[in-house]
Chain A
Amino acid sequence: MALPTLLNTRSPLAGAAAQRATLASLPLARTFESAAAAAGYDPLTTTSVSILQMNVGKRCNQACHHCHVDAGPDRTEVMPADVVDACLRFLEASDIPTLDITGGAPELHPSFRDIVRRARAAGRHVIDRCNLTITRLPAYSDLPEFLAEQEVEVIASLPSFTSRQTDAQRGEGVFDDSIAALQHFNTLGYGVEGSGLLLNLVTNPVGAFLPGSQASLEADWKRELKRRHGITFNRLYTITNMPISRFLQFLLDSGNLQAYMDRLVAAFNPAAVEGLMCRYTLSVGWDGRLYDCDFNQMIDLGTAAEAPQTIFEATPESLAARRITIGPHCFGCTAGAGSSCGGATT
């Protein structure tokens, strides 16, 4: 049973402006702008774009407690065909090596497989950010075979190797379905040494605390998933929960918001700034608008005014060395070992 989305429950935090106002009202020891400047990034700018991240919509078969997208079964936003085409034309005309497809559950997009085929035909590496349980739905049961055939990298969410913590974050029964899905991926060669089929896992803390050491946790996870379920995988990525959308609601409801933000600010790591994903990622929203990252997308902080605002007007040249739009939530990506869609950044 999926949890209700903020939108469905008419929460005030369903709106991006309310989320930004909530974060802006907090007394913090320093601004992200000053922290980045002290680390030598004044202003914080991009390098060249090496990942095009398409958020193809907010529909999802799950509704996780920490979801920064407020995705769920009741969301209707789906990237229309002209935006899909513009993204792929932009990709094909560029030398951007990687297409990262996310959502919601990106596989629910009616053109998901066409997007993958076209990007692969253009010789690009493709990442599918998969929630695992989608492959247990009858209409999507052949999805792992399709992904294997197209040699798509799978980055799958699994917060814990125990059922209680996984289900607490992602919903009742998600752990068992996720384990079954991972076992299926393994039978196809995913996560098996030498197969070339990459199966990477993502863990977000199940609560208001920072993730642990990625290398140390990866060793624990490999041992425990193998021992308990016979599962193998390639890499474990630790990702800090962002204080936006449903996780922001959780922080507010649980009385942890100020302490969590103070923790993120206190844990600012200057060495994590260089590898921030916003410095090399271009994020496209379901409606074609451009953002520096998927988190900015969800609180409606678009690319800087002097940069292109939609994929229809974008060129790789016009997006290089652009100023990055920042806010208090950015401390989430610089805390401790750093955090990105590819895990720790230091």
Chain B
Amino acid sequence: MSERSHMETYYHPKDLGKFADMGKEAPELWKKFLEWYNAVFQEGALTEREKALIALGVAHAVQCPYCIDAYSTACLEKGSTPEQMTEAVHVAAAIRGGASLVHGVQMRNQIDKLSM
């Protein structure tokens, strides 16, 4: 493969299918992760559909393209509508935006400290 093709993108959609390869060097840790992960997404106080919507919002907040593909599909398969999924992304975006903005208070504190 040429250097140029290596440089095209860091993310490859097919790499999601290789996620289990992460267990090759640390099988015990991978097993524990999977058990915990699967338990997290089972129906509990929250429904599987609600959990998938939260995951979709978080996937956007951490900007993981693999997670966005996986949980867009999962949300549809759990019965969420595109409108509900879009609102979940807005929630993630609002928290990210708010998180930036609230740090403005720190900025203001520093301004106050340094200014006459």
Contact = CB atoms under 8 A, between A and B. Distances in A.
Bound together: yes
A210 B48 contact: no
Interface string A202-225: 000101011111001100100000
12 contacts: A162-B83, A165-B81, A207-B76, A209-B76, A209-B77, A211-B77, A212-B49, A212-B79, A213-B48, A213-B79, A217-B79, A220-B49
Interface in A136-186: 160, 162, 164-165
B82 A216 contact: no
B73 A209 contact: yes
A217 B48 CA distance: 11
B78 interface: yes
B109 interface: no
B76 A216 contact: no
Interface of A: 160, 162, 164-165, 205, 207, 209-213, 216-217, 220
Given A162-B81, A162-B83, A205-B76, 5 more contacts: A165-B81, A211-B77, A212-B49, A212-B79, A220-B49
Contacts of A165: 81-82
B74 to A, nearest CB: 9
Nearest to B73: A209
B68 to A, nearest CB: 15
- Which 8 residue pairs across A and B have the least CB separation, nearest first? A212-B79, A217-B79, A212-B78, A209-B76, A210-B77, A209-B77, A212-B77, A162-B81
A252 B105 CA distance: 53
B77 A160 contact: no
Interface of B: 43, 47-49, 73, 76-79, 81-83
Provide the main secondary structure of the chain A interface: loop
Q: Name the residue among A160, A211, A216 with the largest chain B CB count within 10 angstroms.
A: A216
Nearest to A220: B79
A210 B79 CA distance: 10
Nearest to A205: B76
A260 to B, nearest CB: 11
Nearest to A217: B79
A209 B77 CA distance: 6
Contacts of B49: 212, 216, 220
Contact of B81 (A160, A211, A213): A160
A218 B73 CA distance: 19
Given A162-B83, A165-B82, A216 B48 contact: yes
B104 to A, nearest CB: 38
A165 B79 CA distance: 12
* Residue from B47, B78, B79, B83 whose CB has the most chain A CB atoms within 10 Å: B79
A211 B77 CA distance: 5
B78 A216 contact: yes
Nearest to A212: B79
A256 to B, nearest CB: 11
A317 B48 CA distance: 45
Contact of B47 (A164, A210, A211, A216): A216
B83 A216 contact: no
Contacts of A207: 76
A194 to B, nearest CB: 28
Contacts of A210: 77
A83 to B, nearest CB: 39
Contacts of B83: 162, 164
Nearest to A214: B79
A301 B47 CA distance: 40
A168 to B, nearest CB: 10
A209 B47 CA distance: 19
A213 B77 CA distance: 8
B77 A216 contact: no
A160 B84 CA distance: 13
A164 B47 CA distance: 24
Contacts of A162: 81, 83
A331 to B, nearest CB: 16
B14 to A, nearest CB: 11
A213 B76 contact: no
